[in-house]
């Protein structure tokens, strides 16, 4: 199999085989990202395909300099950003936005971390299920902040909300997830 650098250079020349190779190599990665934001599997497939169309159209903007073998991690980050933005655009376009709730300014945003239950018992499938069960506004902020690494300022700009609303939704999402995970471990003890 060709290196990522070779595949991307061929994709820039609109070589269909290379585009197919890139698509097949990174399709699952992109689909997992889309599926975190879009609960319907078929819609997540559409988002993934739309994101790849954007990748091929905008590949000229991606810097192909293969600095010390860091091309693939940089490509992962670039692809992730395209998939996330495509998913958020779809949510906005299809009016699947739910109001972003806020807490008053006196709320405490620092939740004490407890790793007592943080072990490998919880399966990826259950965790994704819990994320999907979150209200859409909480799900988006949680994914953007915790999983995708955006700051509250970036999230506020992306979702057209205040920084406080972003923090509030993250706070509520963490509360719900902590309860669901605690319940999961309680049922496993029985």
Domains of the chain and CATH, by start: 4-93 (1.10.1740.10), 124-189 (1.10.10.10)
Distances from the Cα of 189 to the Cα of 120, 152, 184, 185, 186, angstroms: 15, 37, 9, 6, 5
Number of C-beta neighbours around residue 169 at 10 A: 28
pLDDT tens profile 110-122: 334 444 444 444 5
Confidence at 54, pLDDT banded by 50, 70, 90:
very high
45-49, 66-70, 159-163, range with the lowest pLDDT: 66-70
- Long-range contacts of the stretch 147-153 (C-beta < 8 A, 24+): 147/36, 148/33, 148/80, 148/84
**pLDDT attached to residue 107:** 38
**pLDDT attached to residue 182:** 84
**pLDDT attached to residue 116:** 44
pLDDT tens profile 81-119: 999 999 999 988 876 544 444 434 333 333 344 444 444
Q: Which of 25, 141, 153 is nearest to 84 (CA)?
A: 141
What distance in Å separates the CA atoms of residue 190 and residue 188, rounded to the nearest whole number? 6
């Amino acid at each position: 199999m060709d290196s990522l650098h070779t595949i991307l250079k061929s994709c820039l020349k609109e070589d269909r085989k290379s585009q197919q190779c890139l698509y097949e190599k990174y399709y699952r990665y992109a689909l997992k990202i889309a599926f975190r934001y879009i609960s319907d599997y078929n819609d997540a497939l559409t988002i993934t395909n739309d994101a790849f169309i954007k990748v091929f159209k905008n590949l000229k903007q991606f810097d192909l300099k293969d600095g010390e073998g860091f091309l693939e991690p940089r490509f992962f980050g670039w692809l992730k950003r395209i998939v996330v933005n495509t998913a958020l655009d779809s949510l906005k376009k299809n009016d699947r936005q739910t109001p972003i709730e806020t807490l008053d300014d006196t709320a405490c945003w620092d939740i004490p971390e407890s790793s007592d239950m943080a072990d490998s018992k919880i399966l990826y499938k259950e965790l994704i299920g819990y994320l999907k069960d979150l209200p859409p506004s909480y799900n988006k902020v949680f994914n953007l902040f915790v999983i995708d690494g955006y700051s509250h300022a970036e999230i506020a700009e992306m979702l057209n909300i205040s920084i406080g609303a972003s923090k509030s939704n993250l706070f509520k999402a963490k509360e719900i997830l902590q309860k669901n995970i605690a319940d999961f471990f309680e049922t496993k003890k029985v």
